[in-house]
Amino acid sequence: MIIQPRIRGFICLTAHPEGCAAHVQEQIDLVKSRGPLEGGPKSVLVVGASTGYGLASRIAAAYGSGAATLGVFFEKPPTEKKTASPGYYNSAAFEKAATADGLFARSLNGDAFSEELKQQAIQLIKEGPGQVDLVVYSLASPRRTDPTNGETYKSVLKPVGQAFSAKNLNTDKKEVEDVTLPPAEGDDVAQTVKVMGGEDWELWMDALAEAGVLAEGAKSVAYSYIGPEVTWPIYKDGTIGQAKEDVERAARAISQKHGAQALVSVNKALVTQASSAIPVVPLYISLLYKVMKAKGTHEGCIEQMDRLLRSQLYAAAGPSLDEAGRIRIDDWEMDAEVQAEVAALWPRVTTEQIDEMSDFAGYQAEFLKLFGFGLPGIDYTAETDPLVEVPSLA
């Protein structure tokens, strides 16, 4: 079939296997260009490994440190008439490349929240590297079924306490508009914490430790975001922010229970499938990209994760932590001069000036890249077979 992007809202309904593979190769090449990471991880489990920061973590560990990797994800496989989800093609491309380069790479496609998948992962670790010395938890999901009681919880993106009105970028229409979001109600906060909080991270670490596959002195990291005040009502102070506070609680609990160094890394705002769904954030990212690219400090997911491993988690002096005990690789984004320039643009940006005042073109290009579109060297008018296998799932 000829595969073209079909965009609906903040999601693209199609993905291009060759384009996804080219995007993965770009990230591999970036890590290889920076040379080996001395003293890095040797065996890594990535929960949520198929897109965004999770995929970049897997690539950075494998190609920076030669690590064996096990990736866990929930992605839609292809059929003869429909493409797979992009994370499926990403994982297929990563496994193919890693195997060709002599690296151990296995994948599990299923419900990472389930006890069954945790046990499957443990079995693969036992059959492969034996233990893991780094666990990356990078799971984003709209719902979770609790394995202990069978109840399904749903997360929401809402402010807490009162409605929130702000500028927003309608990426479909390329229009700057006002948006008002109703506040959380009922058990919205509790449900979001159950899905996006730290409980499942703890359950993964408990299961790994109990099975004896968590190496002594292992590290673990989960990802968060804080951002500027303009985004706080919908993120930091909203339902998702409440869940991220629980992730920080889980980090402390894991460190105490298992002797592992469990940390939260606060990362930069980037175009990901998750961030594209958050109101206000696309406009902020478009302005941020404009400012940071002009300063030469812009990073994508792979640059962020490579820097996380090299300058923080596996730095000779150990990670530098903020007052709350978090790693901050959002430091370049939150630089006072960068934020002042974004803040000056925010009240002035309009639909008519969106191209001049922001990097909306860069936002769009990065969004399409997530689904394998817009990569150089790919003929998007050619017939393409959507049936690609993830080797270890075949």
- Beta pairing class for 164-170 and 175-181: antiparallel
Round to whole Å and give the CA distance between 69 and 59. 9
Contacts for 318 with CB less than 8 Å, ≥ 6 apart: none
Would residue 235 show up in a list of annotated catalytic residues for this protein? Answer: yes
Q: Which of 295, 210, 233, 226 is closest to 264 using CA atoms?
A: 226
CA atoms within 13 A on the CB side of 150: 0
Catalytic residue among 235, 284, 289, 314: 235
Task: Quickly tell me which residue has 């064996």 as its tokens.
Answer: 68
Dihedral in degrees, nearest 10, Cα atoms 242, 311, 27, 70: -70
Helix %, strand %, coil % of the chain (to 5) = 40, 15, 40
Give 120-189 as a 3 state SS string: HHHHHHHHCCCCEEEEEECCCCCEEECCCCCCEEECCCCCCCCCEEEEEEECCCCEEEEEEECCCCCCHH
Question: Annotated active-site positions, please?
Answer: 235
